[in-house]
Amino acid sequence: MAKEFLSRRGIPFREVQVFREQGAIDDLIRLTGALAAPVVIVGKRFIRGYDPYALTALLEDDGWLESHSSDTKTDMKADKPSS
């Protein structure tokens, strides 16, 4: 879901397969303090799991997105996992 969220907004990202790439587990633990996935790292901050509102806030704070608009809020409803 995070990949789709970023792709739809044209935001570049790198997917890391932590169990396939040598050193990736150590990097994940060093950066986040835990072995938990998925993790989205934006600048020096991160979120665990997929939360479109938290991800939007991180991207706005880091300058990747402009501030919330009603269009952004509507678009995020489509990104929210269904219950």
Average pLDDT over residues 7-30: 93
How many angstroms from the chain centroid is the CA of residue 53? Answer: 10
Q: Is the pTM of this model over 0.85?
A: no
Domain that holds residue 52: 2-79
Task: At 38, list the tokens.
Answer: 């998925």
What total number of domains does the chain contain? 1
| CATH number of the domain enclosing 27 | 3.40.30.10
- The pLDDT tens digits for 23-79 are 999 999 999 999 988 899 998 899 999 999 999 999 999 999 987 554 445 455 556
> Quick one: pLDDT at residue 74?
47
**Is the bond preceding 38 in cis, omega lying within 30 degrees of 0?**
yes
